A = this chain, B = another copy of it.
Amino acid sequence: MGKKNLSLKDIAEKAQVSTALVSYVLNGKEKETRVGQEIAEKIRQIAKDFNYQPNYLAKSLRSGKTYTIGLIIADISNPFFANIARIVEDEAKKNGYTVIIGSSDENAAKSRDLIDVFVNRKVDGFIIVSSEDTEEQVQDLMDKNIPFVLLDRHFPELPTDYVSLNNYKAAYEAATHLLEGGYLKIGFIGYKSRLFHMKERIRGYQEALQNHQIAAEPEWLLEVEFNTLEEIRTGIDNMLEARHRVNALIFGTYRLAISGLKYINELGLKVPDDLAIVSFGQAEAFDLYYCPITYVHQPMADLGKTAVEVLVKKLKGEEGEKKQVMMEAEIITRSSSKAKAAVD
C-alpha cells in the first residue's frame, strides 16, 4: 500500500468533503476555513494512511519560492571550502533556508552543469565559490536576474555582489611580518592561476619586497600548476640553489604548505632555523607540526555568514544596491616565523 500517490481529489472522495477543503487542511490553513477539528483530523489520517505526498514540485512552480539556496563550492575535498559550506548551512538554516551543495571541482564545465541543475531545481538563489574561467556563467546569472553572491573569490571586472578577502593586503602583511623578523630572502609558492585572489596574493608578496628594497631572485616565486610533489621539489630546490638562497617561505594555500612541509622534512631542514614558514589558511596539521606554523587566518565564519546575510536580504528584496564586502585576514604568529634574532 502507499505506492501510488493519492491525489487531493482521492482523499476528498474518501473523506466525503471538497477537494478545496483537503487542500486547506493539508497546507495547514484549516483555521482560515473554520473547519471542525474532527474533519481536519480525519483528512490528515487518510492522507497518512495512504501515504499522501504533497507535490512540492508543482507547488513551487506556482509559488516560485522554494526556500532553498544552491551553494557551489570550488572543491568539496578541500577542508577550507567544506568548512565554509558547513557555516553557510548553519546560517541559512537559521534563516529558514535549506542549502543544497554542489562541488565544481575547480572545473568550469562542471560548474556550469551544476548551475543549470540548480536553476532547474528552482533554488531561490546562489552562493558561489567560483572556479577559473567561469566569468561567463556569472554574467549569465546576472543577465537572467538570478540572485547570487560570490564567496571568497570574485571577478573584479564584474559588478556582482561578493564577500571576499583582501588577499593583497594579507599577503603584503605576511611578507612584512617575515621581513620585520629579519628574513630578507623570502620565497612564495602559489598556483599559476587566472583567479584574482591568487594573483592578489602574489602581488601583495611582491610589493612588500619591493617596498622594502629587496630585489627578489626569479627563483623565489614558484607558481605550480597542479601541486604535484615534482613541482614542489623542483621549485624548492631552485629556491635553495638560487644566487641568494631563501631563508623563509610563504605558501599561498594550506595545501601547498602541506606538500612543501613534507618535502622540507625530507630534506631534513629545520623550521624556522633553516627556513621560516608562513602559510595562507588554517589546518589541523599546522598545530601538530613540531614547530607550529604561522598562518594567515581567513575569517571563514564571517565570510560564510555574511554571504548568507547578503543573499537572504536580496531574496527578501531588502537589498537594493550592490553589496561588495572585502574582509581582512589576520596573521596568527607562531614559532615557524620566530624573529631571526631569536633564532640565530
- Interface size of A as a range: 35 or more
* A341 at the binding interface (Cβ < 8 Å): no
Interface residues of A in 77-112 (CB under 8 A from B): 77-79, 82-83, 85-86, 89-90, 93, 98-103, 105, 110
- Copies of chain A in the complex: 2
CA A265 – CA B2 in complex, angstroms? 58
CA A285 – CA B105 in complex, angstroms? 23
* A231 at the binding interface (Cβ < 8 Å): no
Instruction: State whether B79 touches A288 (Cβ < 8 A).
Output: no
Query: Which of B3, B68, B82, B102 touches A76 (beta carbons < 8 Å)?
Result: B82
Which residue of the partner chain B has the closest CB to A289? B288
* A117 at the binding interface (Cβ < 8 Å): yes
Query: Which of B105, B145, B283 touches A89 (beta carbons < 8 Å)?
Result: B105
Interface residues of A in 280-331 (CB under 8 A from B): 283-285, 287-290
Which residue of the partner chain B has the closest CB to A103? B89
Describe A's contact surface by its main secondary structure.
helix
Known contacts A86-B103, A288-B289; decide if A68 and B98 are in contact (CB<8 Å): no
CA A85 – CA B98 in complex, angstroms? 19
Known contacts A86-B77, A121-B121, A288-B258; decide if A144 and B102 are in contact (CB<8 Å): no
Question: Chain B contacts of A120 at CB under 8 A?
Answer: 56-57, 60
Interface residues of A in 27-55 (CB under 8 A from B): 51, 53, 55
Which residue of the partner chain B has the closest CB to A70? B100
CA A76 – CA B77 in complex, angstroms? 9
Instruction: State whether B144 touches A51 (Cβ < 8 A).
Output: yes
Smallest distance from the beta carbon of A139 to chain B beta carbons, Å? 12
Instruction: State whether A284 touches B287 (Cβ < 8 A).
Output: no
CA A197 – CA B327 in complex, angstroms? 41
Query: Which of B2, B61, B101 touches A103 (beta carbons < 8 Å)?
Result: B101
* A15 at the binding interface (Cβ < 8 Å): no
Instruction: State whether A113 touches B98 (Cβ < 8 A).
Output: yes
Since A57-B61, A93-B110, A100-B118 are in contact, a sample of 9 more A-B pairs with Cβ atoms closer than 8 Å, ordered by chain A residue number, is A53-B144, A57-B57, A76-B86, A77-B83, A89-B105, A98-B102, A100-B101, A265-B288, A285-B285
Q: List 3 tightest A-B contacts by C-beta distance, closest first.
A: A56-B120, A285-B285, A77-B86
Q: 13 A-B pairs, CB-CB below 8 angstroms?
A: A3-B144, A55-B61, A56-B120, A60-B120, A85-B103, A93-B110, A98-B113, A100-B101, A101-B102, A101-B103, A262-B288, A283-B284, A283-B285
